Amino acid sequence: DIQMTQSPSSLSASVGDRVTITCRASQGIGNYLAWYQQKPGKVPKLLIYIASALESGVPSRFSGSGSGTEFTLTISSLQPEDVATYYCQKSNSAPNTFGQGTRLEIK
């Protein structure tokens, strides 16, 4: 099965910073990659699908890019409400494995 690896595992940044999270697949998955945000005590929320498509209602400061085996989630200007754990997920074929998560905190 294809493994998904995120880096870093945790990240601390200041309000207004540009933040980038990376997700690598052990084999090529085309552009079949989704990103989720999970705030503490809350249900996961879909942010990005097909690597770069922004889900309806998600702020435009979130963006996704990449294809094949390397993908990135970028927050252009970090806001306090972005404190959360972020997960990537392959979506090309089952099993639709998640990355281990990246915990984002405000410095």
In whole angstroms, the minimum distance from the beta carbon of 29 to other proteins comes to 11
Rounded CA separation 40/66 (Å): 27
In whole angstroms, the minimum distance from the beta carbon of 16 to other proteins comes to 28
Nearer to other proteins, 32 or 61 (CB): 32
In whole angstroms, the minimum distance from the beta carbon of 60 to other proteins comes to 18
Nearer to other proteins, 68 or 101 (CB): 101
Rounded CA separation 75/18 (Å): 6
3-state helix, strand, coil in the chain (%, to 5): 5, 50, 50
Where do contacts with other proteins occur on this chain (CB under 8 A)? 1, 32, 34, 36, 38, 43-46, 49, 55, 85, 87, 89, 91-101
Nearer to other proteins, 26 or 93 (CB): 93
Q: Are 37 and 47 in contact (CB under 8 A)?
A: yes
